[in-house]
Amino acid sequence: MVALMPPTKKTPAKAPRLSPRERQRITEIFARFAQHMPEPRTELAYASPFTLLVSVVLSAQATDVSVNKATEVLYKIADTPEKILKLGEAGLSKYISSIGLYNTKARNVIALSRILLEQYGGQVPLQRDALQALPGVGRKTASVVLNELRIEPAIAVDTHVFRVAHRLGFSKGKTPEQVEADLMRIVPNDGLTRAHHWLILHGRYTCVARKPKCAECFLADLCPSRELFMGV
């Protein structure tokens, strides 16, 4: 007879259960997001998985507007790994010099273009592990790409998502990873792909960092932070 051994792996701590009232509040919030923004998309301009990947890499600590301004010119000249490689690091830098950290980003985009050509036939691999192994591509960048291309629902937590998630009482997480885990647990399944955009756009235009526009916010009656900002 084979003796049954006790499990050796630790079971992860369970997240606290939501009360029916809290569940209802969250469901209503996402229903309103769906009503106000039925088909939210990234504001980055792209025409292929490759240009999406490059734009997302360039957008780290930069606005989408500044990235679009630079790539509007760049992608007319170079919109494939081959063409970007031909530009070289110095050539690429000239096109993206208006974007923060452009030297590092140019180095990464050249390096990732080379890897795509050498290892993936010039295509962008659409698996998380392969994406995250590319230079300049972290978990957040991979999440944006996979979610935008509808490969894998993911919520990339940037500064807007982090702030809005806290203000709406979705998370008390201290790191983007903790907030992401909380959001993945509570966002209704039919909103998972869109939640990243909803939270970013809400943070960018309404629930802004310094003076959130609570008076015109369609979530005000459901938001535990509204009173904090009254009279701001």
Residues that bind ligand SF4 (CB under 6 A): 167-168, 206-207, 212-214, 217, 219-220, 223, 225-226, 229
Least separation in angstroms between CB 35 and ligand SF4: 15
CB of 169 to ligand SF4, least distance (A): 9
Q: How many helices (H) and strands (E) does the chain have?
A: 11, 0
Of 158, 172, 174, 221, the catalytic one is: 158
Minimal distance, residue 174 CB to ligand SF4, in Å? 19
Q: How far apart are CA 80 and CA 173, in angstroms?
A: 39
Is 140 designated active site? yes
Residue 1: C-alpha distances to residues 4, 7, 8, 127, 136 (Å): 9, 18, 20, 43, 53
Please say which residue, 48 or 218, places its beta carbon nearer to ligand SF4: 218
DSSP classification of residue 56 = H
Nearer to ligand SF4, 37 or 62 (CB): 37
Pick 128 or 226: Cβ nearer ligand SF4: 226
What is the smallest separation between the CB atom of 62 and ligand SF4, expressed in angstroms? 24
Instruction: Answer whether 224's CB lies under 8 Å from 169's CB.
Output: yes
CA distance 32 to 223: 13
Neighbours of 26 (CB within 10 A): 18
Active-site option among 69, 79, 140, 211? 140
DSSP codes of every residue in 133-190: TSTT--HHHHHHHHHHTTSS------HHHHHHHHHTTS---SSHHHHHHHHHHHS-GG
* Residue 105 or 163 with smaller CB distance to ligand SF4: 163
Q: Which is nearer to ligand SF4, 132 or 225 (CB)?
A: 225
Contacts of 54 (CB under 8 A, 6+ apart): 71, 84, 109
79 is catalytic: no
Q: How far is the CB of 202 from ligand SF4 (least distance, A)?
A: 7
Q: Which positions ≥6 away from 4 have C-beta within 8 Å?
A: none
What is the number of residues in the chain? 232
Q: Which residues are catalytic?
A: 140, 158
